[in-house]
């Protein structure tokens, strides 16, 4: 479908402007998609505390007039979020218990995760961090030196993971400073960045960002987060190509979500499309049981049946590992 002139104008703006113009009102998103909020199970109550937030670059990948669109389902606050389910909680993966000091989670041997920001460009309704107290725990500029000191002193740490929120929402200068500080630590071998921005706001991948990433002297890995092949388009492809051409290894992690990607065809096309964009389809996560997300759950038994069928269609390197995170475990648990 051809682009509306207002979309062309929007996409000509820089990433900060595109981010500032993200949809934050249910009515505006519905109007853009030619849908009536009255025809959808939307819930203003569900959006309180975790509001709607969708960049146009992601919304433009949705099918207009389709209330069942798999991308819309990922971002639309609906009444089902208010239902309670046994076993669901505010901190399903035990992150709070893993806080080593402000801004650092130390969960797995040899790796530490920095909570660089609490902000995201998009609010995914199934997110396990939707109830996370970022304001208290994110890494402020003033704590960065202490965190770098901690990593420098702990020789067992070989990998630092920049996470959030979305760490690529930090300014180029802040990213360059952080990577520069990490580069001076000789026992550190890898820096991994977990981000959804190349997928949902590809305009973020600028020459300035690539220059900031080039400050990193360790192996640099970017793990993107894409759940459905419709999230991939030429802009996303171009962003990923620039990252790839900069020598960065790209992996993808998806979450298995009811009504989004819980069928063999969707998973196969996703893997094929990711690989054609230079991204290795690495993890398929079972849903983390965060309060408000139970309607997305696919059971472990159904997930195993699905991935077995996927294996029958795809080579091993295109079949993601089916995993789940368990609070207190020493690693992610491989289901298959
Ligand atoms: S942390 Fe990732 S999954 Fe969660 S809302 Fe942000 S972008 Fe979405």
Q: Is the pLDDT of residue 11 over 90?
A: yes
94 φψ region: left (φ > 0), alpha (ψ -120 to 50), beta (else): left
The pLDDT value recorded for residue 1 is: 57
Neighbouring C-beta atoms of residue 169, cutoff 10 Å: 22
Contact 115, 64 (CB under 8 A): no
Distance 24 CA to ligand 1 centre (A): 15
What's the rounded mean pLDDT across residues 71-78?
98
Task: Give the residue among 77, 158, 170, 184 at the shortest CA–CA distance from 115.
Answer: 170
Distance 14 CA to ligand 1 centre (A): 21
Distance 252 CA to ligand 1 centre (A): 14
Distance CA 54, CA 58 (A): 7
**pLDDT category of residue 75 using cuts at 50, 70 and 90:** very high
Buried b (16+ CB within 10 A) or exposed e, 103-141: bbbbbeeebbbbbbbbbbbbbbbbbbbbbbeeeebbbee
Which residues have a Cβ under 8 Å from the Cβ of 175 and sit 6 or more positions away?
167, 168, 209, 212, 213, 215
Report which secondary-structure segment, H or E, holds 249: strand 249-255
* Structural domains in the chain plus CATH codes: 5-82 (no CATH), 96-334 (3.20.20.70)
Distance 130 CA to ligand 1 centre (A): 8
Query: Whose C-alpha lies nearest to ligand 1, atom 8?
Result: 124
**pLDDT category of residue 135 using cuts at 50, 70 and 90:** low
Number of residues that this document lists for the chain = 336
With a 6 A CB cut-off, is 196 part of the ligand 1 pocket? Answer: yes
Q: Are strands 111-115 and 104-105 parallel, antiparallel or unpaired?
A: antiparallel
Give the dihedral sign, CA 50/56/61/66.
positive
With a 6 A CB cut-off, is 127 part of the ligand 1 pocket? Answer: yes
Query: Whose C-alpha lies nearest to ligand 1, atom 1?
Result: 165
Which residues have a Cβ under 8 Å from the Cβ of 129 and sit 6 or more positions away?
95, 165, 290
The pLDDT value recorded for residue 98 is: 75
The pLDDT value recorded for residue 29 is: 97
**pLDDT category of residue 139 using cuts at 50, 70 and 90:** confident
With a 6 A CB cut-off, is 285 part of the ligand 1 pocket? Answer: no
Distance 139 CA to ligand 1 centre (A): 17
Tokens representing 225 are 């987060």
**Most ligand 1 atoms within 8 A of CB, residue of 115, 117, 118, 196 to mutate:** 196
Contact 112, 104 (CB under 8 A): yes
> Model confidence over 186-212: pLDDT tens digits?
999 999 999 999 999 999 999 999 999
With a 6 A CB cut-off, is 120 part of the ligand 1 pocket? Answer: yes
Q: Is the pLDDT of residue 136 over 90?
A: no
Neighbouring C-beta atoms of residue 181, cutoff 10 Å: 17
Distance CA 207, CA 210 (A): 5
DSSP state of 257: -
What average pLDDT is seen over the chain?
94
129 CA closest ligand 1 atom index: 4
Distance 155 CA to ligand 1 centre (A): 30
Burial class from Cβ neighbours inside 10 Å (0-12, 13-18, 19+) for residue 155 reads exposed
Distance 195 CA to ligand 1 centre (A): 8
């Amino acid at each position: 479908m051809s682009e509306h002139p207002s979309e062309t104008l929007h996409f000509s703006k820089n990433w900060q402007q595109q981010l500032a113009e993200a949809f934050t009102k249910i009515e505006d998103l519905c109007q853009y998609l030619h849908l009536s909020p009255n025809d959808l199970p939307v819930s203003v109550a569900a959006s309180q505390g975790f509001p709607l937030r969708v960049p146009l670059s992601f919304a433009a990948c949705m099918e207009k007039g389709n209330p069942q669109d798999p991308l819309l389902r990922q971002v639309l606050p609906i009444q089902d979020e208010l239902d309670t389910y046994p076993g669901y909680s505010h901190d399903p993966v035990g992150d709070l218990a893993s806080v080593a000091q402000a801004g650092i989670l130390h969960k797995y041997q040899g790796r530490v995760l920095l909570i660089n920001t609490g902000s995201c460009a998009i609010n995914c309704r199934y997110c396990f961090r939707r109830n996370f107290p970022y304001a208290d725990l994110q890494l402020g500029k003033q704590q960065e030196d202490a965190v770098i000191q901690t990593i420098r002193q702990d020789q067992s740490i070989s990998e630092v993971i920049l996470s959030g929120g979305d760490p690529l929402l930090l300014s180029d200068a802040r990213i360059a400073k952080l990577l520069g500080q990490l580069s001076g630590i000789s026992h550190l071998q890898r820096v991994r960045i977990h981000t959804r921005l190349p997928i949902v706001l590809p305009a973020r991948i600028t020459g300035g960002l690539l220059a900031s990433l080039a400050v990193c002297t360790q192996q640099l890995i970017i793990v993107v987060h894409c759940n459905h092949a419709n999230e991939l388009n030429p802009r996303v492809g171009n962003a990923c190509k620039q990252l790839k051409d900069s020598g960065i290894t790209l992996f993808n992690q998806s979450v298995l979500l009811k009504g989004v990607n819980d069928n063999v065809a969707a998973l196969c096309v996703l893997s094929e499309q990711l690989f054609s964009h230079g991204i290795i389809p690495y993890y398929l996560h079972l849903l983390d049981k965060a309060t408000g997300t139970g309607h997305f759950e696919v059971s472990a038994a159904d997930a195993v049946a699905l991935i077995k069928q996927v294996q029958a269609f795809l080579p091993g390197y295109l079949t993601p590992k089916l995993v789940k995170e368990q609070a207190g475990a020493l690693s992610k648990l491989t289901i298959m």
